[in-house]
Amino acid sequence: MAVSLALRFHQSTKYAPETIGNHPGLDWERQPVPYKQYHSEGSVELADLLPLDPNPFTGRPPEAIEPWHGRTLAALSRWIYFTYGVTAIVRHPGRDQLLRAAPSAGGLYPAEMYVAVRDWPGLAAGLYGYDPQHHRLVMLDEGDGVAKALGQATYGNAAIDAAPVVAVVTAVFERSRWRYQERAYRRVLLDSGHLIGSAGLAAQAVGLRLHATAAFCDGRVEAALRLDAEEEGVMAVLGLNLPGPAERPTWTALPSAVGEGQPTLVELHRASRLGEQRPRLVAKGEASAEALETTHGWTSGDRLRGAGCAGPVPLATDVLGTVLRRRSCRRFARAAISRDALARVLAAAYLPEAVGLGEQPAFDRSLLASFIAVCHVDGIAPGVYYLAPHQLELRLVRSGDPRDAVRFIALGQDLAGDAAAVVFHAADLAACVRDLGDRAYRYLHLDAGVVGQRLNLAAVAEGLGVSGIGGFFDDHTADVLGIPRAQAVVYITSLGVPADG
């Protein structure tokens, strides 16, 4: 049996105190542009359909906005913008930095969005590229052929076949690899998950329904979009559907083979491809579905689900406004957050349908285990806890203030050490690969990014600061969480009170 390339890749891209200084440095002259530049007259301008005053794209107050809830061009404009549009501009000599609706490691924004239109008011059927500089769709191919091809590529997924609009999320590898080398694959997957997390919440806000799948034939999607697979990989396919019952059958994750080759990001992406025939579905059963509730054998703890979570969370009342306000926090004050605020943030991330956010996308959330380092939360003793996600129950792993340990494992960043609470996602990577092949690596990081984005937005809606952390000493982090070093730590999110200024 082949040794999993995903396992070898994860091991080879770990950070360690002994090797963290080995980066060759950045060649600023070679930094890639973080968006595609389209030169075409076949574009659909969407900026006037945004409720922004003044409108950053036109400089004018908003015009009379057409109905924007449901199947309208204004709703689609808002959905795209609040998924991955430009929400602020930071002026720099030479090149301005365009901040987007979804966060990205290092502000590198490797993700791209393509939109295949089957039938939508105000749009001709065709394939469009999204131009974030001008908030417009640029026609790349006419007709509904690409939308049909995406239905075939997702093995007849009923939600994709039924969707009047299908979006494809890709990643241009070099945008992140320029800075993060091969570990960039982790970053582009997490960043794509952030985008998908925003897409699900924005769809709910504009009266639409999102189905996200990472179960597709890579070659067929690449051919439909005319991608160079060595440079740009497909991360997910998103069906934007009208409200109503979920279509069947659908699938979000299917198994790949276990590949061979060198543990580079391109090799792993290639090894985890799916072919033209749909792979078998993995039957996990109720035991696996409940595994996250009983892992580690603990049966009782501090249940947060009732703590301030009886009604809609603040995020549910203002998703779009929260997206505009969201920025990654750069510095925390050493101050406490409330137990209820933490509970509401976690509920938004793990139980969105229970707190007014509707059904949100996931690929295979049963793969991810979550832990929380509590540093300064009123009513919760400092320590490291396992989080049972369905009950929002904290189960003590080790007591004591984890602040110094958390700062160390996050490469010495005060951003982690001064946080009130730090959320960790981890997984038994070998077990995941046994079920889903090397493609499990994609699902793990995509799901962590999706959950991480809900943590981000829910925290901002509470008035808290939040920041994702993708750089950490992997083995030392596993030690702090009390899990074997052979398991994978996937992502970290820090929460706290933002420092003034």
Residue 2: pLDDT above 70?
no
pLDDT in tens, 99-123: 999 999 999 999 999 999 999 999 9
Question: What does the alpha-carbon distance between residue 265 and residue 434 come to, in Å, rounded to a whole number?
Answer: 20
Q: What is the mean pLDDT of the chain?
A: 93
pLDDT at 485: 96
State the residue for tokens 């997924």.
157
**pLDDT (tens digit per residue) in 140-196:** 999 999 999 999 999 999 999 999 999 999 999 999 999 999 999 999 999 999 999
Mean pLDDT score, 466-491 = 97
Write the single-letter amino acid at 205: A
SS3 107: helix
Query: Is 198 within 8 Å of 323 (Cβ atoms)?
Result: yes
Under 8 Å between Cβ of 336 and 420: yes
Helix H segments across 122-217? 145-153, 158-162, 173-180, 184-205
Kindly state the DSSP code that residue 132 receives in the 8-state scheme.
T
Amino acid identity, position 11: Q
User: Do strands 86-90 and 97-100 pair parallel, antiparallel, or not at all (unpaired)?
Assistant: antiparallel
313: pLDDT confidence band, cut at 50, 70 and 90? Answer: very high
Q: How many CA atoms lie within 13 A of 434 on its CB side?
A: 6
Structure tokens at 132: 């974030």
Show the tokens assigned to 343.
């509970």
Residue 382's closest CA among 334, 329, 440, 438? 334
> What's domain 285-498's architecture?
3-Layer(aba) Sandwich (3.40)
Lowest model confidence (mean pLDDT) among 18-32, 340-354, 434-448: 18-32
- pLDDT at 501 > cutoff 70: no
Three-class secondary structure of residue 456 per DSSP: helix
pLDDT tens figures, 189-248? 999 999 999 999 999 999 999 999 999 999 999 999 999 999 999 999 999 999 999 999
**Which CATH superfamily hosts domain 39-81+108-271?**
NADH Oxidase (3.40.109.10)
CA distance linking residue 334 with residue 496, whole number of Å: 8
Residue 298 has pLDDT above 70, yes or no: no
Residues of the chain with CATH 3.40.109.10: 39-81+108-271, 285-498
